[in-house]
Amino acid sequence: MNLLKNIKTTAINVLQNEADALINLIPYIGEDFEACVRDIFQHSGRVVVTGIGKSAIISNKIVATLNSTGTPSLFMHAADAIHGDLGMIKKEDFVICISKSGNTPEIKVLVPLVKQLGNKLIALVGNESSYLARQADYVLYAGVKEEACPNKLAPTSSTTAQMAMGDALAVCLLTARGFTAESFARFHPGGALGKKLYLKVGDVMDDSLLPVITVNANLKDVIVEISSKRLGATAVVGPDKQLLGIITDGDLRRMLQRDPDLTRIKAVEIMTSHPKTIDAGEYAVKALGLMRDFNITQLVVMEGNSVVGFIHIHDLMKEGIV
């Protein structure tokens, strides 16, 4: 049980070790790194990432990041490569080989075969004098002084360094391509993240529910319209559904408290002029931002000067945007 006393200290030491390992990589972002990014950017080939053991797992992550940020990429296990998977490599492809030591038997078998194919070889390696580094066209150094585990054996800081260097490469390529949030959305259509980036207000609102009244509508008409459409508000419109104002259920409650003569009340006397609106073509996440900024639960949706619907906070919740 005594071994459990220092859990917090151990965790902090691991994080500090790995943070230091990343900071120590900064001086190694040099000419080779820049030339590597330029070469990949200027050619149409894919990026094939390979490794073995923990480096293979990191390879898969880097492939996922590259693909999601506009650089076509695929994973090739170093052990499977010499049993047929080399066939996935095309003439223009770049091959990134990830290895801490750069001297493992599988790497020593694989590297000459890649060189024989004529592909550019990129070493993401922790040993600059290794066999892999000496054979590579570009060397991305990801060395660490020591692993974060107390025995200095389990891949911890070294795999963090590999992953971070892969992220640096992917982000540099992303920046070079002018990859935007809209570009990102095309590759991430699922889940809340994708919805925030591509769902438009017009996609989210229920256009079958359009509560509207005229300025001369009486109180009963106002209440019926708000109640029947169940959005907690109605737009007040003129010709061609031109927006003149909005009446919410809160407006009704405040009116009932101050005016005992309900028979003469018209919509124009209750409405709030210049309500908050949003265009149907705007992103739904912008609607959420407006609701939060103004502490409201719905917006009037417009197309040009005409009211076409409402978007409610519940619509955004149903889509997982909130």
Mean pLDDT of 100-118: 94
Q: 3-state class of 152 per DSSP? A: coil
Residue 194's pLDDT is what?
A: 66
How many CA within 13 A on the CB side of residue 254?
Answer: 9
Reference 100, options 28, 160, 170; nearest CA is: 160
CA distance 297 to 221: 22
Tell me the pLDDT tens digit for each residue of 37-93: 999 999 999 999 999 999 999 999 999 999 989 999 999 999 999 889 999 999 999
**Domains in the chain with CATH codes:** 2-179 (3.40.50.10490), 201-318 (3.10.580.10)
Please state which of the ranges 42-46, 76-80, 210-214, 250-254 shows the lowest mean pLDDT: 250-254
* Residue type, position 55, single letter: S
Sorted by sequence, the CB contacts under 8 Å of residue 191 that are 6+ apart come out as 320
Residue 23 CB: number of other CB atoms within 10 A?
Answer: 9
Check pLDDT > 60 for residue 126.
yes
Residue 191's pLDDT is what?
A: 62
Mean pLDDT of 6-22: 93
